Amino acid sequence: EVQLLESGGGLVQPGGSLRLSCAASGFTFSSYAMSWVRQAPGKGLEWVSAISGSGGSTYYADSVKGRFTISRDNSKNTLYLQMNSLRAEDTAVYYCAKVGVVVVAATHFNYFDYWGQGTLVTVSS
Amino acid sequence: DIQLTQSPSFLSASVGDRVTITCRASQGISSYLAWYQQKPGKAPKLLIYAASTLQSGVPSRFSGSGSGTEFTLTISSLQPEDFATYYCQQLNSYPWGWTFGQGTKVEIK
């Protein structure tokens, strides 16, 4: 059974830092890209960042580029999100998600097939 | 960046109704679209990927269609457990913004 368990959320002051972790189990972690998605209170979903299975490629939404860093430790089956220079607008529940892929006629289709339960990050003084 | 616009944003319906939600992309995304269901306080759940492929375990009353810039999610006969918020997501440009639509909340009439 695939399980994703986020941790590391909490209250932080504006300008502060926080590192989120996502412990994965039930699948070959290194074989799959992973992603972070956030949801501000009462708002919709916002894609934040993604990382390839090897960790060699990383991608960010413009809203977090230069402030957040995604990484992974495949030996520990763990995904991370280092968040620096936090702002009030970063307040949200942060979800990690496994990126599934299916190949149809040589075309790769991605999707987020498993999600963690989320961890709340509150940026406030 | 590719923008996704869902309509309607809010939908009131009764059990047994046929419900259709539309997702329009600001540029063509072939069939690189997924649909998710989210209930309050819970993580999203994958329903449909590649625009029309039903995720394993998802009831067959859910279906997806479309390609290019216009997509639909249809619930053929709304059940009590289907009252939730639905999101589309484009996964076209890997992954220069795997953006989500703004969501459609389906509530009981």
Neighbours of A124 (CB within 10 A): 10
User: What was the pLDDT predicted at B96?
Assistant: 65
pLDDT in tens, A88-118: 999 999 999 999 999 988 888 999 999 999 9
Q: Which two tokens stand for residue A94?
A: 């942060």
Contact: A47, B98; criterion CB under 8 Å: yes
Question: Do B2 and B92 touch, CB atoms closer than 8 A?
Answer: yes
Contact: A112, B102; criterion CB under 8 Å: no
Write out residues 19-38 of A within 8 Å (CB-CB) of B. 35, 37
pLDDT averaged over chain B?
94
Sign of the alpha-carbon dihedral angle for A72, A69, A46, A23: positive
The least confident of A1-5, A105-109, B8-12, B68-72 is A105-109
| B92: confidence class by pLDDT, cuts 50, 70, 90 | confident
Write out residues 91-110 of A within 8 Å (CB-CB) of B. 95, 100, 102, 104, 107, 109-110
**Residue B29 Cα, gap to closest chain A Cα (Å):** 11
Q: What are phi and psi of A123, to 5 degrees?
A: -105, 110
Beta strands in chain A (DSSP E): 3-7, 10-12, 18-25, 34-39, 45-51, 58-60, 68-73, 78-83, 92-104, 107-115, 119-123
Looking at chain B, the whole-number percentage of residues with pLDDT higher than 90 is 90
Neighbours of A67 (CB within 10 A): 15
Each residue's pLDDT tens digit in chain A (125 positions)? Answer: 999 999 999 999 999 999 999 999 999 999 999 999 999 999 999 999 999 999 999 999 999 999 999 999 999 999 999 999 999 999 999 999 999 999 988 888 999 999 999 999 999 99
- pLDDT over 90 at B8, yes or no: yes
Closest residue, chain B, to A51 (C-alpha): B95
Q: How many CB pairs under 8 A join A and B?
A: 73
Q: What are phi and psi of A100, to 5 degrees?
A: -80, 165
Contact: B101, A35; criterion CB under 8 Å: no
Could you say which DSSP state residue A22 is in?
A: E
Neighbours of B77 (CB within 10 A): 12
Q: Which two tokens stand for residue A69?
A: 């860093």
Contact: A44, B100; criterion CB under 8 Å: yes
Closest residue, chain A, to B43 (C-alpha): A117
Q: What is the CA radius of gyration of chain B?
A: 13
Q: Which two tokens stand for residue A100?
A: 């599934």
Contact: A109, B31; criterion CB under 8 Å: yes
